[in-house]
């Protein structure tokens, strides 16, 4: 995802000299080509993310389209006040890019586990929040946030993620992407866990459970119409995210379902429960530990169906 983002942003910046990329002393190697080719559109502010966000706001208010870049929680939680008061309050054209959402930097411990960012960022006024599911969606999302006026948050994986889409799907911020549309159970996934959601669908289908999958890459705005439609055709909805179930996709979908006047299916929120992770290890290991492997996702769905007597 990281490389796909940098590749597309470089293409955009070549064509638009008002685009600037700011980094908090990260991305060496990854950003080297951009910096060498477009030195007047690149700025390393050092290990000072709060300052980076303030500088980005100033540049944006002078007519620039500014991308800030760092890993995990550094471009978000570390400088949350500046994002709120500088970027969002002024509706500045700043695009905040976080590399390594979820457990991508799992071996580095809790400081690098980005597992509450979606909930916090979607609560901020004026901020568009996007978390693509694979490389194809990353490229499309990068172009989309560039074209979207005002503040945006782009949450990406670290690198090495599989590409799920075999073609280029129709993409729009605020509209989910259907991958499989026929089924009694609906899996709604956000971010780089999409591949595991699809693998879980395969497991469920082998068990005779017809399952559809949607990539909910846009959390703010959320595709409320899709959720309403799915609620009419599904016996069970499961949200899947490498993030806390509090306030993320699961919380957002629960809010929509709670306000529906018509009968609605049960909801299972598959993600991280309350508390901090005291476990360290690579991303796949932590997904196993916290019930986000394909087998664990399928088991959660099957358990919910048994508990709720859904056939």
Cα–Cα distance measured from residue 185 to residue 236, given in angstroms and rounded to the nearest whole number: 5
Report domain 177-307's class.
alpha beta
Residues 219, 221, 225, 231, CA torsion sign: positive
Q: Look up the CATH number of domain 2-156.
A: 3.40.50.970
Residue spans per domain, the chain: 2-156, 177-307
H-only helix segments in the chain: 2-15, 32-37, 49-61, 80-82, 117-122, 135-147, 194-206, 224-233, 249-258, 283-289, 294-307
Cα–Cα distance measured from residue 285 to residue 214, given in angstroms and rounded to the nearest whole number: 25
Tell if the pTM clears 0.85, that is, is over it.
yes
Burial class of residue 281, CB neighbours in 10 A (0-12, 13-18, 19+): middle
Domains 2-156 and 177-307 share a fold: yes
Residue length of the chain: 311
**Mind listing the pLDDT tens digit of every residue in the chain (311 residues)?**
999 999 999 999 999 999 999 999 887 789 999 999 999 999 999 999 999 999 999 999 999 999 999 998 999 999 999 999 999 999 999 999 999 999 988 998 888 999 999 999 999 999 999 999 999 999 999 999 999 999 999 999 987 888 999 888 999 999 999 999 999 999 999 999 999 999 999 999 999 999 999 999 999 999 999 999 999 999 999 999 999 999 999 999 999 999 998 888 999 999 998 788 888 999 999 999 999 999 999 999 999 999 988 87
Cα–Cα distance measured from residue 49 to residue 80, given in angstroms and rounded to the nearest whole number: 10
């Amino acid at each position: 995802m990281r490389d796909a983002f940098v590749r597309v942003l470089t293409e955009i910046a070549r064509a638009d000299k008002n685009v600037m990329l700011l980094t908090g002393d990260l991305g060496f190697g990854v950003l080297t080509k951009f910096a060498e080719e477009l030195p007047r559109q690149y700025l390393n502010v050092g290990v000072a993310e709060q300052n980076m966000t303030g500088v980005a706001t100033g540049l944006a208010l002078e007519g620039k389209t500014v991308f800030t870049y760092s890993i995990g929680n550094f471009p978000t939680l570390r400088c949350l006040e500046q994002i709120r008061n500088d970027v969002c309050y002024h509706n500045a054209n700043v695009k905040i890019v976080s590399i390594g959402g979820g457990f991508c930097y799992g071996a580095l411990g809790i400081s690098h586990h980005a597992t509450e960012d979606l909930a916090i960022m979607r609560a901020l006024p004026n901020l568009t929040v996007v978390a693509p599911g694979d490389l194809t969606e990353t490229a499309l999302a990068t172009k989309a946030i560039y074209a979207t006026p005002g503040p945006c948050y782009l949450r990406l994986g670290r690198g090495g993620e599989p590409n799920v889409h075999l073609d280029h799907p129709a993409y729009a911020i605020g509209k989910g992407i259907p991958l499989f549309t026929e089924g009694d159970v609906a899996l709604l996934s956000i971010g780089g866990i999409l591949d595991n959601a699809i693998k879980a669908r395969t497991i469920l289908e082998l068990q005779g459970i017809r399952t559809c999958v949607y990539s909910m890459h846009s959390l703010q705005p959320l595709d409320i119409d899709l959720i309403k439609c799915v609620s009419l055709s599904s016996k069970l909805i499961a949200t899947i995210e490498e993030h806390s179930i509090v306030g993320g996709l699961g919380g957002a979908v629960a809010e929509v379902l709670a306000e529906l006047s018509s009968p609605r299916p049960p909801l299972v929120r598959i993600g991280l429960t309350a508390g901090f992770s005291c476990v360290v290890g690579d991303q796949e290991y932590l997904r196993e530990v916290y019930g986000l492997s394909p087998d664990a996702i399928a088991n959660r769905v099957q358990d919910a169906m048994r508990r709720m007597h859904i056939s």
